Structure 1
């Protein structure tokens, strides 16, 4: 298994090219190596300001657009919704697989399934504005926001000065390794 990026595009102000997706996959691989995360799936969605505003309001209670949102699947705090699946005893096996068939199916399922790490939502108009403000490429800003979101999925935060310094230092090192410099 490995880290896997699934992405979708819900905006039309910036063309998301295959070469850029390859760069994001490289960033994911580097960030995973740096953090000791070798398996899992990250879902990335590019949106407009209206959509990220809606998500920020509905899920964080902040009634304004933002640049990036992360929704971790591994979180398990007091305020998190607990998902409960039915008892396995409720299911009845109808047909027994032939000898060796079960192992092959199980192996194929393991190869196809990657544990979801979470969702990252990026506002492309915000990234474009920030890239102009900071004087670097849109790709660099989108890469920065992607790595920022990924680190949030792993539990990093930047509430305090020390946390911010550590998180932003990690982000910059990952971007440098991928060649996305300012």
Structure 2
């Protein structure tokens, strides 16, 4: 289940908007081998709030588009399906029947700015950032070039399957 909270007032969030994000989450998680119930929290913020969170969490005092806080641990270069496919999770990783995957913080203000900068829709940018964050929750990263290529390829594969185009 996706739990959302809105802490910004600059952009409207509709039920349809949330439904589309949930579709991206469900599809991406299934594509990556998450078969059971899951729990992710998604916090919508503005640029100032994400800057504060980025500074507190990562000691980087600047605005970013999305932050991901995974609950599961991953070995270097490994992702969810490499480690946890078929794994029976301990209760510490669950909330009832839901596997707790982590938290995402998304600046809708930054998503709007980037959609204009990259010349595609706001909806596409939000869905891309949600997918990007989910992949981080599942162990993907882009700190080294090899991992970055792997992550970008996976993003494009999933976006194409969802028919979310630039």
Q: Tell me if TM exceeds 0.5.
A: yes
Deviations 1:35-83 (A, max 9, x none): 1012311101110111101110011010111111001111378xxxxxx
Unaligned runs of 5+ in 1: 78-109
Task: Indicate the SS of the match to 2:98.
Answer: coil
Q: Does 1:145 align with 2:129?
A: yes
TM-score between both structures, scaled by the size of structure 1:
0.75
C-alpha RMSD of the superposition = 1.8
- Is this contact kept in 1: 2:54–2:63, CA < 8 A? yes
Which position in structure 1 is the counterpart of 2:139?
Answer: 155
- Is this contact kept in 1: 2:74–2:139, CA < 8 A? no
The separation in 2 between residues aligned to 1:76 and 1:135, in whole angstroms, is: 35
Unaligned runs of 5+ in 2: 76-93
Shift of 1:115: 2.2
Aligned residues, how many? Answer: 147
Which position in structure 2 is the counterpart of 1:33?
Answer: 30
Change (3 A) 1:27 1:61: same
Shift of 1:179: 2.4
Q: 2:52 aligns with which of 51, 54, 67?
A: 54
